A and B are shown apart, each in its own frame.
Chain A
Amino acid sequence: MATEMVQTSCGMCYIGCGIQVKVENGVAVSIEGDPNNPQNRGNICAKGQAGLMNLYNPHRIKTPLKRTNPQRGLHVDPGWKEISWDEALNTIVSKLVAIRDNPKQLYIQGWEVTGDSHLWLHAFASAFGTPHYSSNGSPTCGKVIHPVEFFAAGGFHQQPDLHYCNYCILVGTQFAIAARASFNHILRDMADARARGMKLIVVDPIGGFAGSKADQWIPVRPGTDTAFALSMLHVLLNELGIYDEKFLKHKTNAPYLVGSRGLYVRDPNSGKPLVYDAADQRIKPHDDPTLSDPAITGGGEGGRPSFELLREHVAKYPPEKTEEITTIPAATLRQLAKEFGEAACIGSTTVIDGVELPYRPVCVDWAKGPQGHKHGFHQCWPLKLLNIVVGAVSVPGGILSTGAAGKKPFQWFPEGGTDGMLEKGGNILPLPHPKAFPGRTPTKPVRNDLAELFPLAPHYHTLLPITAGDHERYGLTYGLQVMLHTPTNSVLGSFGDLNVVERFYQSIPFIAGFAIEINETNLFDDIVLPFPSYLERFDFNAGTSSRQLGPCGQDDWFWQIRQPVVEPAPGLRHPQEIIMELAEKVGILDDFYQLLNHTFRLKEPYALEAGRRYSPPETIDRISRCWFGEEHDLKWFQEHGVIRYQKEVEETYIGPFLKARLPIYLEHFLQRGEELKEVIGQMGLDWDFSDYTPLSEWMPCPSYNALQKGDYDLIAVHYKFPYVYGAFGNDNPWINEICEQTNAYHIILNEEVAKAKGIQDNDEVWLESPVCKVRAKAKLTQCIHPQVVGVGGHFGHWAPGMPIAQGKGVNFNSLLPTDLDHIDKISTALDHCVEVRLYK
């Protein structure tokens, strides 16, 4: 029997762990973690091991299909007919050629971050000339964290420094316990940190996996994170007087003087923001070379330091008031603030590799939970401020920024810009990062997703279903005509109310998409293209870990590729090859290559040459040699799996090396808000501008108001399982078995509340939101806020092509009202806490 171990990269979620696959006589029989890969250090999760079941799923699509039923809908049988590749691609090409003169009618849903497809489709969209390219899959995730991180730290995402942190507060995230990037790496770091005594606090409506590991779980009412954070700031700044004065003076805009209209006081000649130098008692520009002691308190008619405004602002949120909003007892909040402030060790330093660095072993981490609200930006921003005021940003023990800086194989590092503030994020690929500073000037919209009306948002796809039925209202003169999409299941997971989503998909005359199996999104397709399993594929970009979401701290930087471990099923083609063929047939191949060369930093002699065609192995070989030298070609990666470099201190703890200030006061929000008011006024739209404020205010979500009115009595929220990370690969018997044995398909409800409603464990109940009513099984627990219903995972499939997952669990997104009133006007996040009734 021929047995071999093949090194490649997992593709069961966006992370991309290094794996070794045992192959016997051409059949993959087991998957293990690669011990030499810094991403996962030999670990592999349940979902990763279950990838074999997706490879050999008998319901996989292996031949192009076309729809024969002209009717399209959520539950309409498309009447699939198998067709040849030529017919499938020629049909798509004919639809693209038909809109060539007005290319903005093309929408590409490009979120497929397990491999190369999203980078290639990004280049395809730009070469074709459409602005409608979506590089994100969720209606909440990433909407706030990336823009905040890029302007307040310099990287793509944040990550607690588990190597040195002593006091870690997680808000609405199960970081390093049940979720997040580099999962199989940080999981071990979190366990080590807890073992050495790091105190872990979890603030979350649900005491789930993270709560179970915490020293203290603090249930919080959904959508009240702003009040919690502002109150913590109040206790720190006003009651305890704990803040990093030196850091705030020299590394933030805390000393920038603010005038009566909320804008900076500026030098009349240079336009630069002014500060008051206490050393010589003179007002001078923020970057004046004589500046030595910028004041962050005091002030008078000439303006007040923004820090003074922040302190005054947060005083409106004493813990007693916040208790009414959040349900967190005032004494608990004061205890947290005191412990957090004292553990920050302000003024301390440590020496790492011979370099003296500030030592701030505390941090507040947050992710998807606080982002998913009507005022999502301001739910999150003051949480970040907690780290900034104690100087715990990008230093040992504090909150670190993923992918922000590197020295090999290229140099990249965040840079300052407008007003001396951090403006340009660090990014290994020269692609525009999602950022919210200084933002863009609003104009009347040309785009169907109204991007022009969201000048501080990173992406906008949540607006597409809302405008689809009412273009004229937004001054749009056209609708989307052609959609191309990855295998990502957007119908189930990228939007909300399924009736609105259905109308959106029905409004697009032609849709073609990739498919692993026929999921709910593919039910709307006119043409389906089979997508190979990650175990049959070549990818240069094998997940997000190396590029933007690698483990922080001093662990090695690395790059890995993906190679097939088994022969692709007959009839399958690589997505890169298909995208290249479409580009050639549409007549944009040379432009497409120019953009791919830019994306992958390909220079002569490695650049893709006009007029030629390349196989996926050929392109990967070129990029590998261009990045890592001639000796590190594709063959080298196929044999060795991963290349790794030791990180230096400047790459790991970038804070002291950053030549730019971080914000504590968002002056540009006022500017963009005023500009937007003018545009909205011209359009005659009704718009909420309350979020365009430089200091965060807590504003209630619709669900909060609904409970106050008594129309509903519970709020539904979503939570994650480590073995159901994203909807990719859900039709899997091993994953299904874990879900069934852990009651993952149930919704969870507070035990006391359930008793009052006469509901027992395992009872069938109705769960009713303003837009959807579903049947569910209840699981009772004490580990959930009494006003909350928890809906986990990515379930509720109904597509017949997913017989294992079909009819199990609840699709949380379908509960969510989807209209402008539920969209955050800063980030475009869709509100993810929804008022519900629950009854038998």
Chain B
Amino acid sequence: MGDLRAVVESRDLEMSLPQGSSVGDLLSSLAERFGDPFAKWVFTGSGDLHHYILIFVNGENIQDIGGLSVKLGEQGGKVEIIMLPMFEGG
């Protein structure tokens, strides 16, 4: 969902990551795969998530359950990375 589709050019991606991987690991892997346009839209210069990035793991907002360190789970899971347009403006 969101603006990131303009970079990723795909709605769904299936990824295999080592057991115990976190959301942060997944994003690093995606940044490697899609390069600067992905990395620079998702992360600030200091490596934090931009404020317009919204991530759900199995339907739960990672802000409510531990942020980037949230584990993806042994059975894998559905991770939704959404770049929301900045909102409001006169």
Binding site for B on A (CB under 8 A): 102-104, 113, 122, 125-127, 129-131, 133, 135-138, 140-143, 145-146, 156, 368, 417-418, 424, 429, 431-435, 438, 440-444, 446-447, 458-459, 548, 591, 594-595, 598, 671
**B59 CB contacts on chain A under 8 angstroms:** 594
> What are 24 inter-chain pairs, A to B, with CB distance below 8 A?
A104-B5, A125-B85, A126-B83, A129-B5, A131-B83, A135-B86, A137-B90, A138-B90, A140-B90, A142-B90, A143-B89, A417-B48, A418-B44, A424-B51, A432-B51, A434-B86, A434-B87, A435-B51, A438-B44, A443-B37, A443-B40, A444-B37, A446-B7, A548-B88
Tell me which of B9, B41, B44, B88 has the highest count of chain A C-beta atoms within 10 A of its own C-beta.
Answer: B88
**B50 CB contacts on chain A under 8 angstroms:** 432, 440
**B9 CB contacts on chain A under 8 angstroms:** 102
Residue in contact with B51 in the complex, picked from A113, A143, A433, A595, CB distance below 8 Å: A433
Are A127 and B90 within 8 A (Cβ)?
no
B36 contacts chain A at the CB level, 8 A cutoff: yes
Tell me which of A122, A126, A138, A433 has the highest count of chain B C-beta atoms within 10 A of its own C-beta.
Answer: A126
B68 contacts chain A at the CB level, 8 A cutoff: no
Q: Give 1 or 0 for each of B59-90: 1 = CB within 8 Å of chain A CB.
A: 10100000000000000000010111111111
- Nearest Cβ in chain A — how far from B42, in angstroms? 10
Which residue of chain A is the closest to B82 with respect to CB atoms? A126
A309 CA / B37 CA spacing, docked (Å): 35
- Nearest Cβ in chain A — how far from B78, in angstroms? 11
Are B85 and A136 within 8 A (Cβ)?
no
Residue in contact with A440 in the complex, picked from B1, B40, B80, B85, CB distance below 8 Å: B40
Task: Tell me which residues from 6 to 53 in chain B have a Cβ below 8 Å from any Cβ of chain A.
Answer: 6-7, 9, 11, 36-37, 40-41, 44-46, 48, 50-52
- Nearest Cβ in chain B — how far from A286, in angstroms? 15
A824 CA / B88 CA spacing, docked (Å): 19
**B45 CB contacts on chain A under 8 angstroms:** 418, 438, 441, 671
A137 CA / B88 CA spacing, docked (Å): 10
Are B88 and A441 within 8 A (Cβ)?
no
Are A129 and B11 within 8 A (Cβ)?
yes
Contacts A443-B37, A598-B54 given; indicate if A126 touches B88 (C-beta within 8 A): no
**A122 CB contacts on chain B under 8 angstroms:** 84-85, 87
Are A594 and B90 within 8 A (Cβ)?
no
Are B86 and A433 within 8 A (Cβ)?
yes
Are B90 and A141 within 8 A (Cβ)?
yes
List 13 other contacts, CB 8 Å, given A131-B83, A140-B90, A432-B51: A126-B82, A131-B3, A131-B6, A131-B85, A135-B88, A137-B90, A143-B89, A146-B88, A432-B85, A443-B37, A459-B89, A594-B56, A594-B80
**B54 CB contacts on chain A under 8 angstroms:** 598
Are B88 and A156 within 8 A (Cβ)?
yes
- Nearest Cβ in chain A — how far from B37, in angstroms? 5
A368 CA / B52 CA spacing, docked (Å): 26
Are B84 and A432 within 8 A (Cβ)?
yes
Which residue of chain B is the closest to A105 with respect to CB atoms? B6
- Nearest Cβ in chain B — how far from A760, in angstroms? 38
- Nearest Cβ in chain B — how far from A9, in angstroms? 18
A458 CA / B51 CA spacing, docked (Å): 13
Which residue of chain A is the closest to B2 with respect to CB atoms? A126
Are A441 and B11 within 8 A (Cβ)?
no
Which residue of chain B is the closest to A671 with respect to CB atoms? B45
Interface of A is mostly: loop
**A141 CB contacts on chain B under 8 angstroms:** 89-90
Which residue of chain B is the closest to A548 with respect to CB atoms? B88
Residue in contact with A591 in the complex, picked from B1, B3, B85, B90, CB distance below 8 Å: B1
Which residue of chain A is the closest to B53 with respect to CB atoms? A432
Contacts A104-B6, A446-B37 given; indicate if A595 touches B87 (C-beta within 8 A): no
Which residue of chain A is the closest to B5 with respect to CB atoms? A129
**A438 CB contacts on chain B under 8 angstroms:** 44-46
Are B87 and A432 within 8 A (Cβ)?
yes
Which residue of chain B is the closest to A368 with respect to CB atoms? B90
Are A103 and B5 within 8 A (Cβ)?
yes
Which residue of chain A is the closest to B85 with respect to CB atoms? A133
A459 CA / B84 CA spacing, docked (Å): 12
Contacts A129-B11, A146-B88 given; indicate if A447 touches B6 (C-beta within 8 A): yes
A458 CA / B50 CA spacing, docked (Å): 14
**A129 CB contacts on chain B under 8 angstroms:** 1-2, 5-6, 11
A595 CA / B3 CA spacing, docked (Å): 13
- Nearest Cβ in chain A — how far from B6, in angstroms? 4
Which residue of chain B is the closest to A455 with respect to CB atoms? B40
Are A433 and B46 within 8 A (Cβ)?
no
**B85 CB contacts on chain A under 8 angstroms:** 122, 125-126, 131, 133, 135, 432
A607 CA / B50 CA spacing, docked (Å): 26
**B41 CB contacts on chain A under 8 angstroms:** 440, 443
Which residue of chain A is the closest to B44 with respect to CB atoms? A438
Are B1 and A126 within 8 A (Cβ)?
yes
- Nearest Cβ in chain A — how far from B34, in angstroms? 11
**A137 CB contacts on chain B under 8 angstroms:** 90
A442 CA / B51 CA spacing, docked (Å): 16
A671 CA / B45 CA spacing, docked (Å): 10
**A598 CB contacts on chain B under 8 angstroms:** 54, 61
Which residue of chain B is the closest to A442 with respect to CB atoms? B40
**B37 CB contacts on chain A under 8 angstroms:** 443-444, 446
**B82 CB contacts on chain A under 8 angstroms:** 126, 595
A395 CA / B56 CA spacing, docked (Å): 38
A137 CA / B89 CA spacing, docked (Å): 8
Tell me which of A432, A440, A548 has the highest count of chain B C-beta atoms within 10 A of its own C-beta.
Answer: A432
